[in-house]
């Protein structure tokens, strides 16, 4: 283990606490990825003090990639709320997601948590039961 650092502040992260973001592939297709966060930044994310737009901007900056204007819309993107934090598949979560759900594609157990953002609270995939092999 080791080597995982928080995408937002650079502190050590355990790899389980994550935030989903979009990555633009060739031909403009978006696929879900996730960024590891330390406990403090993850708490700030769930409290709405750290926005998904900020996380996404750092995610892209780390890859020296300049996202197009869609980046400003990720804050309330309900698809990212149900993205598997290990493989990016969209989970079959209903309007009231369970506390934990195994991804049908990769098998990773995703845990949901409540996030308080400007528009109200939403439940989203917030952590993994076990940290994925680091990219
Ligand atoms: Zn951090
Ligand atoms: Zn998955």
| Bigger pLDDT: 117 vs 41 | 41
Nearby residues for ligand 2 (ion, Cβ within 5 Å) = 84, 86-87, 89, 103, 105-106, 108
Nearest Cα neighbor of 50 from 63, 37, 33, 69 is 37
106 CA from centroid of ligand 1 (Å): 26
| Bigger pLDDT: 87 vs 135 | 87
Q: Is the dihedral of CA 135, 52, 125, 67 positive or negative?
A: negative
124 CA from centroid of ligand 2 (Å): 14
pTM, two decimal places = 0.90
Residue range 40-54: mean pLDDT, rounded:
96
Tokens 């297709």 locate to 29
- Mean pLDDT score of the chain, rounded to an integer? 90
Does the structure show a pLDDT above 70 at 33?
yes
**55 — phi, psi (to 5°)?**
-60, -45
């Amino acid at each position: 283990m080791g080597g995982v650092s928080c995408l937002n502040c650079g502190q050590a992260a355990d790899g389980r606490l994550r935030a989903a973001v979009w990555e633009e592939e060739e031909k403009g297709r978006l696929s879900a990825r996730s960024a590891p966060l330390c406990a403090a930044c993850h708490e700030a994310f769930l409290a709405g003090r750290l926005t998904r737009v900020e996380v996404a901007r750092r995610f892209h900056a780390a890859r020296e990639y300049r996202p197009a204007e869609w980046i400003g819309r990720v804050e309330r993107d309900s698809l990212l709320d149900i993205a598997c934090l290990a493989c990016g598949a969209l989970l079959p979560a209903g309007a009231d997601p369970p506390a934990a759900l195994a991804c049908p594609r990769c098998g990773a157990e995703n845990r949901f948590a409540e996030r308080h953002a400007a528009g109200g609270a939403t439940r989203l995939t917030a952590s993994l039961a076990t940290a994925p092999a680091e990219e």
